[in-house]
A and B are shown apart, each in its own frame.
Chain A
Amino acid sequence: MLDYLLPRYKVLRDRDECVQCGVCERSCANGVHKVDEDLGRVTADHAKCVNCQRCVVMCPTTAIAITRWPQVDAGSGNWTLEAMQDIAKQAQTGAVLLASMGNPKDYPIYWDHLLLNASQVTNPSIDPLREPMETRVFLGSRPGMLKVNEREHVVMTPMPPQIRLDVPLMFSAMSFGSVSLNAQKSLAMAAKELGTYFNTGEGGLHRDLEAYADHAIVQVASGRFGVDPHYLNAGAAIEIKIGQGAKPGIGGHLPGEKINEEVSRTRMIPQGTDAISPAPHHDIYSIEDLRQLIFSLKEATLYRKPVAVKIAAVHNVAAIASGMARAGADIIVVDGFRGGTGAAPKRIRDNVGIPIELALAAVDQRLRDEGIRSTVSLVAAGSVRSSADVVRAIALGADAAYIASAALIALGCHQCQDCSSGRCNWGIATQNPDLTKRLNPEVAAERVVNLVRGWNHEIKEMMGGMGINAIDSLRGNRLMLRGIGLNDKELEILGVKYAGE
């Protein structure tokens, strides 16, 4: 059958600059470039290019650039080239379209419609170089009221377990299997250095990462891969994954070819078998079942670890989150639809779920309406792109933010959205040893540490400008935000005033 698919990208090569060294050929696991001795030049198989930009970065003479395939569409705003290409692909294969990373569609990005405040005259801004500027956060549930002995400085109320973050963000779940061990190790090392946490995802904790276990959040998802008492007790906290922003309502599928010896050992499944995480947890068909799982995990860890529950941001997210708090979750994680994934059906990724900004605002407000916001922690995930997004998330009501795509971009990811192929040229979303060795964990960890330190400096600057010197006072402080380009309903849900109000 003739394949009607067009190439997506075109490799532009500057003949004057190219020295035919072959670095591009060796860089590309997709087999795009070829040094053709006979022709005396380097050729490109454009159709194979995914625009990961590895060759662009590696080319010693900067001779390469990637551009979109210059084919025009049919001139219809309805039948775009993408829509027609998707049909051509499915007509060819009869399969579900697969995609990676977060929702790339042109939905509103509410972060970009929220402006931050600064002090002028009536109160002073605070200089983070002169005054202490506190970004430490604790996550866990807490009693609404403490009983103490004031003279002896003793707390009588038993305090539930907490995890301490020195920066108000963590690295969200990416399993060994979906990403390489080197990628996970990079984040683990960075988390330890920064005083924060990485998340094992549903892939178990590799023995090489045991040294970083006190900076790990160990995930329990519907496939229960890698879960045993040792695993649960090794981490700093446990996260039950109900859903993921990139693919709400469906499970996961790690194909057998990616289950090599190490992945097999860590996930505790036979080598070469598909690792299928069912769409629901088959022991959770309702909220009361969630309570049982939460308390099973607490029992298994002697109530020493906070238990987080992560859900995808969906329509009824506020009520669900409130139910989770009442079911005993210590930390509520809400993941918006722009959050990434190693693989998801394209139609799910692009059409299911809601933006984290609206979900976060709705959840925080609902928990307050119920009078339980102060007894539970709230973490926002799903495309936090900069320190300003972290500040916005906290001002909307989050205790901390999860980042993953941003951390991967620090490692080298260029968001080509081809993770599911297993041919990640940056050594991140692959188990191919020739590719994974491209990622040096020490160097990569340093890049992530640099990124987060830079963000934390910026967060302190922004807080100082607002006249705030502890992140506690930013949390839920929506007066520090103003909307721009939003309608009344959006302002109401976000709980912010319009710029100029």
Chain B
Amino acid sequence: MPIRESLREGAVRIPSGCAIAGIMDRSGARHDGSDILKSIALMHDRGNGLGGGFAAYGIYPEYRDLYAFHIMYESREARAETEAYLDTFFMSEKQERIPTEPVAAIKNPPDIWRYFVAPHPMRLNMSGLDEAEYTMQHVFHINGKVNGAFVASSGKNMGAFKGVGYPEDIGEFYRIRDYDAWAWTAHGRFPTNTPGWWGGAHPFTLLNWSVVHNGEISSYDANRRYVEQFGYGCELQTDTEVITYLFDLLARRHGFSQEMAAHIMTASSWDDIDRMDPDRAAFETALRVAYSSALVNGPFSVILGSDEGLLALNDRLKLRALMVGEKGPMTYLASEQAAIEVICPDVENVRPVEGGVPFVVQLDEVAERKRRESAENRPAREKPYQHEVGVMPPKRKEA
């Protein structure tokens, strides 16, 4: 009997509601996945079993300098084609099946592999791109052009574990308790349609970015058509995808801090700007004018993960729930307060993330480094490429 092909992300636009959660240890100490699993499991009813997933930072310290690609395959041909492609453009240090556990509720999982790779040095040099841009474009190629292959994550020392099912089942399937990370995010999805496609589950990731998101942004097409000008192909037609690209454009390419990128996406209201002193008002006006199409509208709560830490953001009107709590070096984020208290009963400073005010938690070492750095944004194009300036060994002093 032929199986009815179900709709996929990218074929149609599918609104969805969700549960999101995040845990981070500022000190950089790593914790296994049991807490995040418990936290997202509590919010079972905010998902409908059609998508769940996790992103974890710091899980591959032994390969910290290599891009860790998590790739899902629906066929052997897809894997053959992808691996041939990777062999051309990257050099693989290690490749293996991601260990999984059979779970009754998880049906028809794809074949899931991971690769620890470095860009092929000569091809990278010839491309005229920096390493991140190079890697990103090849990820776009695999996702867009290779039928039956999807890159679930492509950052360094991080990974996404996602699929179709309730997040607690997905977590068991991927054995996420076996991984140690200094930051975890999780997502339980409530899509209105039934895509049933593993690639469409969240977190959505690109390079080191991971985004979990709850809401439906009404500015979607304005944002999509803005980022598409700069080579971001919105294949999946999801809010999460376009939010990730906005962060990538603003924070990586334009060099803003993540907090400033988030501020641009939830810009000050004109009412507020009109009350500011003229200098500050001119600053905020310039941001709004230059980046007006990066403004994100409609209900959303987002947790952005990166190699710096976590950033939580709510829409300007605070139309979606998102709570934050702290305890020592730990920060907890969740759609519901109970999902924080279930893993940290004596959590402190519990409060909602304010509408339009980014909440940022960085690794202590990152925060320290940032304090010393210039506060001027430095666009990616203006920095010398590491692989171009760092290739020649330093001149040896002759005795």
List residues of chain A with CB under 8 Å of any chain B CB.
119, 122-124, 126, 131-132, 134, 136, 138, 140, 142-157, 159, 162, 368, 371-374, 466-470, 472-480
Contacts and interface: CB of A to CB of B under 8 A. Distances in A.
Given A153-B279, A155-B282, A470-B297, 13 more contacts: A122-B192, A123-B217, A126-B317, A132-B270, A146-B377, A467-B218, A469-B317, A473-B219, A473-B297, A477-B219, A477-B225, A479-B220, A479-B221
Contact of B256 (A119, A150, A368, A476): A150
B379 A368 contact: no
A142 B291 CA distance: 9
A149 B375 contact: yes
B257 interface: yes
Given A123-B298, A138-B289, A368 B225 contact: yes
B270 A134 contact: yes
Contacts of B216: 122-123, 467
Interface residues of B, number: 53
Interface in B274-303: 279-280, 282-293, 295-299
Interface-central residue, B192, B217, B283, by most chain A CB under 10 Å = B283
Contacts of A149: 375-376
A368 B223 CA distance: 12
B12 to A, nearest CB: 9
Given A147-B379, A472-B293, A475-B292, A136 B270 contact: yes
Nearest to B274: A136
Interface centre among B230, B257, B298, B375 (most CB of A within 10 A): B298
A472 B222 contact: yes
Contacts of B145: none
B317 A162 contact: no
Nearest to B221: A479
B229 A371 contact: yes
B379 A123 contact: no
B290 A466 contact: no
22 contacts: A123-B218, A123-B299, A124-B299, A132-B269, A138-B285, A138-B288, A146-B291, A148-B260, A148-B286, A152-B375, A155-B287, A368-B229, A373-B229, A467-B297, A469-B297, A472-B219, A472-B292, A473-B298, A477-B218, A478-B225, A479-B13, A479-B221
Given A119-B218, A123-B216, A469 B375 contact: no
A140 B228 CA distance: 22
Contacts of A480: 218, 221
Contact of B229 (A154, A374, A466): A374
Which 7 A-B pairs have CB atoms at the shortest separation, nearest pair first? A473-B219, A473-B297, A151-B375, A467-B218, A479-B221, A472-B292, A122-B15
B283 A155 contact: yes
A140 B288 CA distance: 13
A157 B296 CA distance: 23
Contacts of B175: none
Given A149-B375, A156-B376, A468-B298, A122 B17 contact: yes
Contacts of A131: 317
Given A159-B289, A469-B297, A473-B295, A150 B376 contact: yes
B221 A472 contact: no
B38 interface: no
A473 B379 contact: no
Given A123-B218, A147-B379, A470 B295 contact: yes
B283 A153 contact: yes
Given A132-B271, A147-B379, A470-B295, A154 B225 contact: no
B316 interface: yes
A470 B265 CA distance: 12
Contacts of B15: 122-123
A374 B226 contact: yes
B84 interface: no
Nearest to B283: A153
Nearest to A371: B229
Contact of B290 (A132, A146, A150, A469): A146
Contacts of B230: 371
B293 A476 contact: yes
B293 A124 contact: no
B203 interface: no
B293 A374 contact: yes
Contacts of A475: 222, 292-293
Given A142-B290, A374-B293, A474 B222 contact: yes
A448 B230 CA distance: 41
Interface string B164-192: 00000000000000000000000000001
Nearest to A136: B270
A500 to B, nearest CB: 12
A156 B282 CA distance: 12
Contact of B319 (A124, A132, A474): A124
B289 A147 contact: no
B155 interface: no
B215 interface: yes
Nearest to A474: B222
Nearest to B299: A123
* Most chain A Cβ neighbours within 10 Å, of B216, B292, B319: B292
Given A136-B270, A473-B218, A474-B222, A142 B316 contact: no
B44 interface: no
A146 B376 contact: no
A137 B226 CA distance: 17
A162 B256 CA distance: 23
Contacts of A474: 222
A368 B225 CA distance: 8
Nearest to A495: B225
A145 B259 CA distance: 17
A365 to B, nearest CB: 9
A140 B256 CA distance: 23
A479 B294 CA distance: 16
B138 interface: no
A122 to B, nearest CB: 4
A144 B192 CA distance: 36
